[in-house]
Chain A
Amino acid sequence: MTIVYEKSKGLTDIPFHYCPGCTHGVIHKLVAEVLVELGVLDDAIGVAPVGCSVLAYNYFNCDMQEASHGRAPAVATGIKRVLPDNVVFSYQGDGDLASIGTAEIVHAAHRGEKITTIFVNNAIYGMTGGQMAPTTLVGQKATTAPFGRDEAHCGKPIKISEMLATIDGAKFVERVAVNTPANIRKAKKAIKRAFECQIQGKGFAIVEVLSTCPTNWGLTPVKALDWLQDNMIPYYPLQNFRNFEEVK
């Protein structure tokens, strides 16, 4: 019998707790596959965030540390400075990375910290029940923006990849989405590059992954994929902003 598909060894056998149709699961799978394909799973130390992926340490089949809200890049820095030959990554949501933890991510990038960050942008706070994130789109409703996000009141959604791409220490910056099979394939390539950037000792690497939150968007899983395509991608263009081989 030929095996057509099997679960990555980079994941444990514990079932995900994510809502049906949530793309956190897809992103976990991609990261796990990349760690295995690059042969670094046994050397990897992941840092889990606060948010829906708070239990990521249960799923990745490698050593893990749980960080406080937003501080994963600082925790990863501590680990990497002690263990420079290991592969260290943080996995963070948009509330985690783009709100409470903005200082930590900017400065980890600025130092050129040799870590890899997987940044899951679903334009909302998932775990706490659908409050507005810094990445929530203008007009998008959230439990703390019941009339839709008002630019005059709280500004436009923050574009993290564009911002980090202005920082010299960030050697790999790419935004991808996981709403179609083609995009998922591209996302995996970007995640692989982001780990290669670390393995080759180039500097900080981040992949922003546009992700869905069917539960808090109030959409079916399929409609959520469409909503991502129609609303998020126009504002958050899929693009490579920095590719370490081209960075002088």
Chain B
Amino acid sequence: MSKVLMKGNEAVGAAAIKAGCKYFFGYPITPQSELPEYMSKALPEAGGVFLQAESEVAAINMVYGAAGAGARVMTGSSSPGISLKQEGITYCAGAELPCVIVNMMRGGPGLGSIQPGQADYFQSTRGGGNGDYRTLVYAPASIQETVDYVMLAFDKADQYRNPVLILADGMIGQMMEAVEFKEAKKIDLPKKDWASTGTKGKRSRNIINSLYLEAEDLEAHNVRLEKKYKTIEENEVLYEAFGLEDAEVVCVAYGTTSRIVKTAIKQAEAKGIKVGMIRPITLWPFPYEAFKNINLNAKGMLAVEMSSGQLTDDVKIGIEGRLPVYFNGRTGGMIPTPESIVADIEKIAGGTK
């Protein structure tokens, strides 16, 4: 199929519809508003339903109801809106409802800015709402990847009966790139025979619920969820890695930031420094396994991110104290520059950082 030039947010919508998403409940927020705008036109044309909810809280609860009724359903927002959606996300995780949630991150905390950010990393990878739960998190670095992972997200949500997050930043939402909508690989998905669709007098009642008043029952539920999360950890880790075996410095970055790091690595290599890289594509499960391949004679790790050092924590967990971990980050919508990254790489390689 030929490539088309699309804005990130619109590409998300087009990919979702291609993946069979029939329902979108949303609320406007910059820099993701083109997504509900796109869906309001494209979904009815595709025989689906777009509804602008009165709030993000309502939107995610509409998603809960629709997912519980067995539909392929999505919502999208940006940071402050995702904070409001966290209530619904933990309920969806607790009731094991498959749905896809897109976060085009902006700067925070609070109202923050409308510029791109990556400071919702903890919120997305550590649960974010109350209780012991996890959501699969895809962090695409291009609009092509965004399209690919949005489509994959619907299948993974259904496969595991779990919410799946697409964690991109405002840059991805706003920029335009050429994309191709490839036919997705068909995978065998479980029947949604648990959905509440009316018994039609043919089966016993289906109940969608996350309440377990007996401590033993809730623990058993949590143990079962934990097992599911382990399966996801074993099977769904995605990352890109290169140059780890003989690197002097290893950079870790995801999303838009990873593209800046790649530019910086080229510049550092022109100066004769060997730089490796790990780019997590799934932020949860995190690709800790990639850290096993790192040359332990390297001088150190450099985490680069648009936050005050949230990814850095996972880098430290991954390297388990075997190498020093340094941080290069900007916040508030400021973007790390290749020059600052090269300067850090040089200092680490030269043992002066």
Contacts and interface: CB of A to CB of B under 8 A. Distances in A.
A41 to B, nearest CB: 8
Contact of A71 (B61, B70, B197, B211): B61
Given A81-B23, A107-B58, A42 B88 contact: no
Interface string A47-86: 1000000110100011111111001001111111111001
Contacts of B22: 82
Contact of B65 (A41, A75, A87, A107): A75
B71 A82 contact: yes
A45 B200 contact: no
Q: Can you list the 6 inter-chain pairs with the closest CB atoms, starting with the nearest? A: A78-B65, A74-B61, A63-B196, A78-B62, A78-B66, A75-B65
Interface of A: 12, 41-45, 47, 54-55, 57, 61-68, 71, 74-83, 86-87, 103-104, 106-107
Given A62-B199, A65-B196, A83-B198, A77 B208 contact: no
Contacts of A57: 207, 209
B66 A81 contact: yes
B218 to A, nearest CB: 14
B54 interface: yes
A45 B88 contact: no
A12 B208 CA distance: 17
B199 to A, nearest CB: 5
A45 B61 CA distance: 16
B88 A71 contact: yes
B61 A79 contact: no
A103 B54 contact: yes
Given A65-B209, A103-B58, 14 more contacts: A54-B211, A55-B211, A57-B209, A64-B207, A65-B65, A68-B87, A71-B87, A74-B61, A77-B58, A78-B65, A79-B69, A81-B49, A82-B66, A82-B73
B23 A104 contact: no
Contacts of A83: 69, 197-198
B55 A61 contact: no
Contacts of B63: 78
30 contacts: A43-B200, A45-B198, A47-B65, A63-B196, A63-B197, A64-B206, A64-B207, A65-B65, A65-B95, A65-B196, A66-B211, A68-B61, A68-B87, A68-B91, A71-B57, A71-B58, A71-B64, A74-B59, A75-B61, A75-B65, A75-B68, A78-B61, A78-B64, A80-B65, A82-B71, A82-B73, A83-B69, A106-B54, A107-B53, A107-B54
Contact of A74 (B53, B200, B211): B53
B51 interface: yes
